[in-house]
Structure 1
Amino acid sequence: MRWTLLLLAVAACDNSPEPANSSTLPDFGDPYATVGSVALEGDDLEVTVRYSGGCEEHSFQTRTRPADGFTEVWLTHDANGDACEAFITTTASADLEGLDGSVVLLAPDGERIPVRD
């Protein structure tokens, strides 16, 4: 009986660190995926995104945060409660005006896409 209790106590004290990405990825809002192209025209970033829906208007907002020598950019998705199940593919735009230097797009799947060096 003592041996079983000791094993449970050791298992309950698991202090292993979380994977590095779990604490650094921001909130992306409602589910979506970046697919296909990411293009930068001047200060306008265009990202091809895919999400489920089709009954409500969806919106994407640009978020940024400084990182070590560059700026991280990501999109937050608001599905407006859309429960429909069609797969929508569209282009979301982000205005990068005022961001100097290197820019990296953070994708919901954890991919880091260099946008500007």
Structure 2
Amino acid sequence: MNLGFGFHVFRRFVTVLCAALFFALAMSCQRQHTDQSTEAIELKTNEIKVANDPFDLIDASISGDSLMLSVRYGGGCSEHVFALDAGPMLKSLPPKQLISLSHNANGDNCRALIQKTIGFDLSSFQGSPRGITIIVLDGTELVYEYH
């Protein structure tokens, strides 16, 4: 019985399609397994979460050994605390210091719009004998020069 050329092409197509579906199914199972192990690792971390209430960073500049930040936030009934959180210093020329700003409103639900300038000492980030460290604040690079 001669089934013709078309039947053989169809049969080959079905075989390739089945192989592709099997491969896709096998890969999706591996991805789910990887995601689950990542979640398990994240659950085991002992990181302390810093309060980070909303605020706007209006301006950032460096003056001498001080990082000057202009911030705006809602509040007015409680003292607000801003903290500079330092990440790792990247080994580059000049070195780069990763930092971020966190804000704790201490439960202040008032609605006044407050804008103020806060300063932070940068002298602990003097990581180069050449007198320059790049401060990276949430993706923005600022040049910190010191002697």
Q: Which letter maps to 2:122?
A: L
> Matches of residues 25-40 of structure 1 in structure 2 within 5 Å?
29-35=52-58, 37-40=59-62
| CA displacement, residues 31-75 of structure 1 (integer Å, 9 cap, x when unaligned) | 11101x212111100111111101111111111111533111121
Structure holding more helix per residue: 2
Q: Report the aligned-residue RMSD.
A: 2.7
Q: Which letter maps to 1:99?
A: F
Give the aligned length.
Answer: 94
- Unpaired segments of 5 or more residues in structure 2? 1-27, 35-48, 127-132
Partner SS state of residue 72, structure 1: strand
Q: Which letter maps to 2:75?
A: G
Structure 1 runs of 4+ with >3 Å offset: none
Which structure has the higher relative contact order (CA within 8 Å, separation 6+)?
Answer: 1
Aligned equivalents of 1:116 and 1:28: distance in 2? 28
Aligned equivalents of 2:67 and 2:105: distance in 1? 21
% identical aligned pairs: 33
In the superposition, the TM-score normalised over structure 1's length comes to 0.66
Structure holding more strand per residue: 1
- Unpaired segments of 5 or more residues in structure 1? 1-9, 16-25, 107-111
Q: Shift in Å at residue 82 of structure 1?
A: 0.2
Q: Shift in Å at residue 28 of structure 1?
A: 6.5
In the superposition, the TM-score normalised over structure 2's length comes to 0.54
Aligned equivalents of 1:51 and 1:33: distance in 2? 6
Q: Report whether the alignment pairs 1:52 with 2:70.
A: no
Q: Structure 1 residues 34 and 28, CA, compared in 2 at 3 Å: closer, same or farther?
A: farther
